[in-house]
Every structure is written in C-alpha cells, then in structure tokens.
Amino acid sequence: MRSRSGTPKLATGLTCAQARESARTVLAEQDAPPRVVADVLTVVSELVSNAVRHAGGVTGFDIAVRAGKVVIEVSDRSALLPHLRPPSPHTPGGFGWRVVKSLAPSTYVRFHRQGKTIIATLPLQASRPPAF
C-alpha cells in the first residue's frame, strides 16, 4: 500500500478544521472504515488544539498511511512533554492527552531544536467494536 500524505503547505496557523479536512482526504483515498475515521479525527483534533492552546501553535502537520497504519505527526514550538492532568469537576478540560493515549496507545514524542513532534499511530482497520 502506498503512503498518502496530507501535509498542508503552511502548517503555521493551521486550524483543527483544516487538519481534520486533510485527514478526511487521506482516509477517503484509503477507504478507511467509519470507526477509524472517527478515531483519527478525534486524535487530530486533540493534538492540533493542544498545540495551539499550550505549545505556541502548530509548526508542522502530516498524516499518512503506511503499512496498514495511520500515522499522525503534529509539531509545535514547546519542548514540554504533554501530561495527564487529574480529572477535576472544578477545572474544565484536561482530557485531551488521555483521549489521544487511549485511541493511539503507541503515541510518542520526538524532540528537536524547534520544539517537539508528537507521533500518533492508529491501525487503518477498526480494532475495537463500535460504540453503542
């Protein structure tokens, strides 16, 4: 299977909607199952929104299908690791990293001179039963 990439020309200022549209295009070319599309769009949204909110903005974005896996890469300007915040009824948010790690458990962080890149990998075929 050939790799398909959805890298926007300019990642700086990338919005969640633009990143999701790139993901939809790549996944449509691969005829991905709806459950996989939903999971990938969730991961893309969380990673991009976290980069915008907490890490100085998106500096790079790529989504590709390689060897039966969807690989999402989001780069930002921060050298700080994402972390799990304890759930709190008094503080909104804090669930993004937990959601990403739940849907893409092999997610890892690569540091570089300009900040970091988070690489999340999900199987192209649905690996969990649909939610009811």
Question: How is the chain split into domains, by residue range?
Answer: 16-123
For the chain, what is the mean pLDDT?
Answer: 85
Contact 27, 123 (CB under 8 A): no
Closest CA to 126 of 16, 27, 3: 27
- Would you place residue 11 in the very low, low, confident or very high pLDDT band (cuts 50, 70, 90)? low
pTM: predicted TM-score of the whole model, two decimal places: 0.83
The CATH code belonging to domain 16-123 is 3.30.565.10
Contact 51, 44 (CB under 8 A): no
Encode pLDDT of 24-69 as tens digits: 999 999 999 999 999 999 999 999 999 998 888 999 999 999 999 9
